[in-house]
Amino acid sequence: MRDNRNRIMLVNAPSRREVEAAGNASCFPPLNLASLATAVKNAHSAIKPEIMIADGSIHSTDEIKKKIDGFGPGIVGIGILTPTYREGRAIAQYAHEKGAKVVFGNDHASIFAEQIMENCSYVDYVVKAEEGGAPFSYIVGMENGLPGMPPAQGNGGKRAKVFFRQGKSVASLEFPEKRLVMVPDFGFVPKEDMSRYAENYNKRYRRFHKRERTPGLINNATGCSNGKHPCIYCGIYDLGLNLGPAEHFWKMVANANEKYGMDFFMETYDNFLSSPRYVKALLGAMDRAGINPAESGIEFEVYSRTDDILAQKESVELFKKMNVTRVNFGVDSGDDRILAALGKNMDRHLGMRPSEINYRAIEMVANTGMTFQMSFVLGARGETQESLGNTVEFARAVAKNFPNAMALVEASELAPLPNSPSWKIMHGNAPLETDEPDMQAVVGEWLERFTEVSMGMIDDAKAQIGKIAGERGIARNSFFG
């Protein structure tokens, strides 16, 4: 065994685009990497782990390779998503050539675990999990000659897996998928990187706050109330509800605020109002701990479905009490037929058309002094030039009526991500044949078979939405470029 296996580098693979302050991508420190680092530190103090974090949202592939040269890690863990997989592979190959053990994790790894192990000899482990802390710590233990924590036996939940090589074959180990209750240590993120996230955040969003903010990510829950019938583009690996203790949420906030000055937290929970009971528990824990976020100058941003905002009448009041100041909406379309085709499942007898539900939720949030982000997905099943026009008009109406509350508008083409219902519509249950689908070709085929629009029409709609949003808009048309 090499003696540098306690030197661990944790990477989020960059996308192929130029590194830039696009949307939220480069505005928040990488919670996933800080959490993995903390899990390893907590599990393996005996090996005195040295951990470096390199986040692809602010570092290019070349910069990350240079960091590998300088740090000389014995283990490199790389988080890959479908749009970042190509760069992730380049980093993996480089790390392997330098003698490091390579571990892949995150959504793309979870979906393509077997194919990656088959096709990429330079990858030693693949973690298939919604949360990789326990499996990754296990790998670090194994590589350092520790017996490691034995995979805990079934808790009835979805199982996480670690794939690894055994001679010429591939073996796997199962773990129960469970949430690690720990306070992530952002001290692993280089100080100069922390400054860059804050700079990027304030460049984009300073105008929506009374003073500059120090951004932070937080996560105490995952899953979505729509998880049983997800939106057709949703490629999230596991949408089942997995809720952390309410007290723990506030413990993480207090720690990040005191140690790193973070005062604007984005909770990455897929849909914050999925469980009303959980939100009430959060507020109860907040009161019991005597915390008043507004008085302490702490703000939150959450993701929410628009129909949940309307269906849960007290939602906006709860948000205010917690000092949620921004809500992130997947508005998707301004066309009722397309919203139905996307599987937004907004038919909750609210007595409104789906596009009206979207509009009213935005109105409620804006009228109570919060800001919002809204994203559109263009090219759903049955999309036509007319429905694209309705989406552009929806964006225009929102921008005109709530100009001061609109923080960000995103527009992207529907990309049938593996694991999403749209992928299944295209390919049925046919087994995945490659670890790297050509997403540009997949999008082209999708448009051809399931819509009446071309990529050119979608680009045109994106440009129009971009013009309406002005500097508060981004069009993600180079998502897979």
Residue from 79, 330, 334, 473 binding ligand SF4 (CB under 6 A): 330
Residue from 133, 230, 466, 473 binding ligand SF4 (CB under 6 A): 230
Quote the tokens at residue 172.
Answer: 């796997």
* Least distance from ligand SF4 to the Cβ atom of residue 189, Å: 26
Binding piece for ligand SF4, criterion CB under 6 A, among 231-239, 312-320, 449-457, 459-467: 231-239
Residue 305 as a binder of ligand SF4 (CB under 6 A): the answer is yes
Site map (CB under 6 A) of ligand SF4, residues 255-284, x = contact: ---------------xx-------------
For 144, phi then psi, to 5°, come to -100, 15
Residue 234 as a binder of ligand SF4 (CB under 6 A): the answer is yes
Nearer to ligand SF4, 299 or 307 (CB): 307
Binding piece for ligand SF4, criterion CB under 6 A, among 102-110, 197-205, 229-237, 429-437: 229-237
171, β-bridge pairs = 164
Residue 301 as a binder of ligand SF4 (CB under 6 A): the answer is no
Q: What CA–CA distance (Å, rounded) separates 264 from 216?
A: 6
Q: What CA–CA distance (Å, rounded) separates 322 from 293?
A: 6
Binding piece for ligand SF4, criterion CB under 6 A, among 131-139, 227-235, 360-368, 459-467: 227-235
* Least distance from ligand SF4 to the Cβ atom of residue 226, Å: 4
Binding piece for ligand SF4, criterion CB under 6 A, among 165-173, 194-202, 230-238, 308-316: 230-238
Q: 244: number of CA atoms within 13 Å, CB side?
A: 21
Residue 76 as a binder of ligand SF4 (CB under 6 A): the answer is no
Residue from 222, 226, 242, 268 binding ligand SF4 (CB under 6 A): 226
Residue 418 as a binder of ligand SF4 (CB under 6 A): the answer is no
Residue pair 77/56 in contact (Cβ under 8 Å)? The answer is no
Return the closest-CA partner of residue 418 out of 441, 454, 442: 442
Distances (CA, A) of 279 to 164, 249, 299, 370: 39, 11, 16, 18
Nearer to ligand SF4, 95 or 111 (CB): 111
Residue from 68, 102, 224, 256 binding ligand SF4 (CB under 6 A): 224
* Least distance from ligand SF4 to the Cβ atom of residue 121, Å: 34
**Can you list the pairs that 164-169 forms with residues at least 24 positions away whose Cβ atoms lie under 8 Å?**
164/124, 164/125, 164/139, 165/117, 165/124
* Least distance from ligand SF4 to the Cβ atom of residue 459, Å: 23
Q: What CA–CA distance (Å, rounded) separates 418 from 427?
A: 10
Nearer to ligand SF4, 125 or 303 (CB): 303
Residue pair 344/389 in contact (Cβ under 8 Å)? The answer is no
Distances (CA, A) of 304 to 131, 327, 424: 21, 7, 25
Quote the tokens at residue 254.
Answer: 């207090």
Residue pair 317/280 in contact (Cβ under 8 Å)? The answer is no
Cβ neighbors of 127 (< 8 A, separation 6 or more) are 103, 104, 105, 109, 110, 135, 136, 139, 160, 161, 162, 163
Other residues' Cβ atoms within 10 Å of the Cβ of residue 291: 16
Nearer to ligand SF4, 163 or 359 (CB): 359
DSSP character at residue 237? S
Residue 374 as a binder of ligand SF4 (CB under 6 A): the answer is no
Quote the tokens at residue 296.
Answer: 């302490």
Cβ neighbors of 441 (< 8 A, separation 6 or more) are none
* Least distance from ligand SF4 to the Cβ atom of residue 339, Å: 12
* Least distance from ligand SF4 to the Cβ atom of residue 342, Å: 8
Nearer to ligand SF4, 387 or 420 (CB): 420
Residues that bind ligand SF4 (CB under 6 A): 224, 226, 230-231, 234, 236, 239, 270-271, 305, 330
